[in-house]
């Protein structure tokens, strides 16, 4: 299989970049790509230097994780993907599910005969 990399938008489109002015502090502005190392400050026109930094997350995600056991299965045959999350290959998991259902059906058959 081959992949084709497609660039979205123009590679020369302006970008937002952060700069630091010695007097006014950090500010964000739109500049041509690649971001110049130095531009005049928005407010005082003194040279401001580019601040290389990771993109800021404007709306942080608040996710909490809790250690502990999973909820009890509502019934014994309930689909449980926990082994998959723990690294079991899908074919192995499917095989176990099939075995479980075979045993389930056999037990039901034995009960009804
Ligand atoms: Zn300034």
pLDDT digits (tens, 9 = 90+) for 24-72: 999 999 888 888 899 999 899 999 999 876 555 555 555 556 677 777 7
CA of 58 to the centre of ligand 1 (A): 24
CA of 22 to the centre of ligand 1 (A): 6
68: left (phi over 0), alpha (psi -120 to 50) or beta: left
User: What is the per-residue DSSP string for 23-39?
Assistant: TTEEEEEEEPSSPPSEE
pLDDT at residue 16, rounded to an integer: 85
C-alpha angle 64-67-71 in degrees, rounded to nearest 5 = 100
**pLDDT tens-digit readout, 97-111:** 999 999 999 999 999
Give me 39's structure tokens. Answer: 């531009």
- The residue behind tokens 């058959």 is 109
Residue 1 has pLDDT above 80, yes or no: no
pLDDT at 57: 54
How close is the Cα of 50 to the center of ligand 1, in Å? 13
Ligand 1 mean position to 47 CA, how many Å? 8
Centroid of ligand 1 to alpha carbon of 31 (angstroms)? 16
**Cα 57-60-66 angle, rounded to 5 deg:** 135
Rounded distance from Cα 19 to ligand 1 centre (Å): 10
Query: Which residue blocks in 1-89 are alpha helix, DSSP H?
Result: 82-85
Domain ranges for the chain, please list them. Answer: 15-50, 82-111
pLDDT of residue 82: 83
To 10 degrees, the CA torsion angle through 100, 102, 107, 109?
A: 160
Rounded CA-CA distance 84/19 in Å is: 46
Q: What is the pTM of this model?
A: 0.40
Local confidence band at 91 (pLDDT 50, 70, 90 cut-offs): very high
């Amino acid at each position: 299989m081959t992949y084709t990399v497609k660039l979205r938008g123009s590679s020369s489109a302006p970008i937002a970049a952060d700069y630091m002015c010695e007097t006014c502090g950090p500010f964000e502005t739109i500049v041509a790509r690649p971001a110049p190392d130095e531009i005049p400050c928005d407010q005082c026109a003194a040279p401001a230097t580019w601040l290389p930094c990771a993109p800021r997350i404007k709306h942080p995600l608040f996710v909490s994780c809790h250690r502990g056991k999973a909820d009890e299965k509502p019934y014994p045959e309930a689909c449980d993907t926990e082994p998959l999350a723990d690294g079991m290959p899908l074919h192995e998991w499917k095989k176990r599910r099939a075995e479980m259902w075979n045993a389930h059906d056999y037990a039901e058959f034995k009960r009804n005969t």
